Chains A and B, each alone.
Chain A
């Protein structure tokens, strides 16, 4: 408090309404109430937003820190005790071939789901942006898969991708193709899982991109049409560049979601442990198995931190790319 008291006179170059001249002794009460109202002015905003930060510290920051502590220990969940063993858990996790397979799978599924998903979403959004009949119906229609619970989607799709009696293979056989080994070939399993992700999320991204498209001034298109640009030219010269900031948002959110993919691979077979040869084991699935299958919380905590750092690293890369792209856009105008 004393700091602000001494600070105040220096800043009286532009005296505030409450602080005109040195306060006489007789009206100390007023001064106090002034001080109160000054505190009110300064502290109240922080008090008003404090519930969020208190909750964040309790439910967000504390678990993260606690996880870090546990990750350096050989932790016994039931007895709530552990012995400090330093970086052994990290060394163990990084030394497991399974971890690297899981990392490969995660990125493979992420790319197989995000890239086609975004391309498809842009085109569907462009279609919906046209002057079509029953606009609202189609727009809501693309969101229907998103409403379905991921577990339900996974159940239906894993049934379809059965190796011997699944729908997809029956159709392939009827068309004269050989069955695809959906559960033993790593790449095939990634495609099957990516299909589930795409089914659920394409519509969601479509709607976000559609909203962005609607914000593009129509004059651009009129001007382009007068200049003789075709639909395709308009799409690539106006629509796509204008979508850039929204695209960046969509890419970042789908990156985070993609790196944490869990429901779909977990529901893909009856065991939920990523396949006999870890064909579709993802990082979070591996984390779950270590924590809740083997009850090795120290190791699971170490893996959780490794995943956190991976996401952080990719977040930083995203940020750098974003900055560059945004600056480019500014200079273009």
Chain B
């Protein structure tokens, strides 16, 4: 009885003390990150999201080569989560030793490039020029270790093409669509006239492919000033895609429930697809046999998406983290990641590896996607400048296009509203 009593007392005392300590310390950052500190051993944390293809086996390889290092891998469920976490802790401590970022939020990260450790200069030749270029700041510091990229091709439904009397094999389709956006929309007009069905999924997603080929669409690369509303190129693209959309679009907003349904029920015949989109299509349109991919992209090459690894400069083991990031983004490891998760390498040397060149995709009618996307990656010439306000302006533009597509506004009214929204930014 007495024993029991004293134990409960002890527990009460401990919990009391703990709660007081909790209040007193508030939320002190980075407690317990120096685990495994015996014998000079170091723990390195790697934070990623979605699937980078960094399996336990891959990381174990590094630990075997470097016995004094333990790698701990934290995966965030979504990029939004990772993004919120990144900007909350950047510069304040508490981030992992290596933090993955997506190209979508790279412009925001570049504003704080001074808070990140620089990638050693001798490594910069490893990546495609435009991949390294996008992560290089105005002081010429490269701050991101490129992982994957999203070179774009055209995915199409060969069964729908056949029904419309168009060629169906991927070489002929590539020849058919070779050219600029006018060619793409002209063939689309033919298709829609012949079948009465939609050629592409939505104006907004086609616009994305087009605007990614414009060097400086919304902001002046030198001054950072917003030039979007006066840029004739932007207005031309806007008008071109909406004129085509009137007859050729399925009006299905990308990633909407209707769009996912449209992938499998043949609501549209073609779609602009980066390498990683193949997984989205095959995952959501199981049982559909018609999807194929052609080695072509209107108006040359285009890139959509991809990621980088960054090393926060205030980490506890910056040097070791840089070595690990170096290893993870080396061509050999990137190819393993590609095999694991389909993340297409951004490393020049990887494109000579047989594991990549010989890769075929069963779902897409055994398309040689490894070789195909290497060519698409090499076709990318323009690295669009994305400044501080890029995503706000682009988001407003996507909405402007959607407004016309769903019939809320006409082309001019929607453009005018976009202009007034962009004017309010900043």
Contacts and interface: CB of A to CB of B under 8 A. Distances in A.
Interface of A: 51, 54-55, 58, 77-80, 96, 158-159, 162-166, 181, 183-184, 269-271, 273, 275-277, 279, 292-295
Contact of A78 (B90, B253, B398): B90
A104 to B, nearest CB: 16
B130 interface: no
Contacts of B407: 181, 184
Contacts of B23: 54-55, 58
* Interchain residue pairs A-B with the least CB separation, the first 8: A276-B402, A184-B406, A270-B255, A276-B399, A165-B261, A276-B403, A164-B258, A162-B257
Given A166-B257, A270-B255, A295 B406 contact: no
Contact of A276 (B252, B254, B406): B406
A96 B257 CA distance: 31
Interface in B135-169: none
B258 A184 contact: no
B256 interface: yes
26 contacts: A51-B19, A54-B23, A55-B23, A58-B23, A77-B87, A78-B87, A78-B91, A96-B424, A159-B257, A162-B258, A165-B258, A165-B261, A165-B265, A270-B255, A270-B256, A270-B259, A273-B395, A276-B398, A276-B400, A276-B406, A276-B408, A277-B403, A279-B408, A293-B392, A293-B395, A295-B87
Interface in B175-218: none
A57 to B, nearest CB: 10
Contact of A164 (B90, B111, B252, B403): B252
A79 to B, nearest CB: 6
Nearest to B420: A97
A277 B253 contact: no
Contact of B115 (A78, A158, A162, A164): A78
Interface in B295-352: none
Contacts of A54: 23
Interface string B104-148: 000010011001000000000000000000000000000000000
A77 B88 contact: yes
A310 to B, nearest CB: 22
A80 B92 contact: yes
A162 B115 CA distance: 44
B124 to A, nearest CB: 25
Chain B CB count within 10 A is highest, among A51, A55, A96, A163, for A163
A319 to B, nearest CB: 33
Interface residues of B, number: 38
Nearest to B109: A78
B408 A184 contact: yes
B357 interface: no
Contacts of B252: 164
Given A165-B261, A166-B257, A273-B395, A181 B406 contact: yes
Contacts of A295: 87, 108
Contacts of A79: 91, 112
B247 interface: no
B3 interface: no
A279 B402 CA distance: 12
Nearest to A183: B406
Nearest to B84: A292
Contacts of A159: 257
B254 to A, nearest CB: 7
Contacts of A166: 257-258
B87 to A, nearest CB: 6
B383 interface: no
A54 B20 CA distance: 11
Contacts of B402: 276
B257 A165 contact: yes
Nearest to A55: B23
Contacts of A181: 406-407
A80 B267 CA distance: 49
A184 B407 CA distance: 8
A226 to B, nearest CB: 58
A279 B26 CA distance: 41
B79 interface: no
Given A51-B19, A158-B257, 17 more contacts: A54-B23, A55-B23, A78-B111, A78-B115, A80-B91, A96-B424, A162-B256, A162-B261, A164-B251, A164-B262, A166-B257, A166-B258, A270-B256, A271-B255, A277-B403, A277-B408, A295-B87
B165 to A, nearest CB: 26
Contacts of B395: 273, 293
A40 B90 CA distance: 48
Contacts of B361: none
A273 B91 CA distance: 28
Interface string B377-414: 00000000000000010010011101100111100000
Contacts of A96: 424
B112 A78 contact: yes
Nearest to A276: B402
A271 B168 CA distance: 34
A279 B409 CA distance: 13
Contacts of B84: 292
Contacts of B91: 78-80
A54 B84 CA distance: 29
A137 to B, nearest CB: 34
Contacts of B253: 183, 269-270
A270 B254 CA distance: 8
Interface in B253-294: 253-259, 261-262, 265, 267
Nearest to A289: B395
Chain B CB count within 10 A is highest, among A79, A164, A184, A273, for A164
B258 A294 contact: no
Nearest to A273: B395
A294 B392 contact: yes
B45 to A, nearest CB: 20
Chain A CB count within 10 A is highest, among B258, B262, B392, B409, for B258
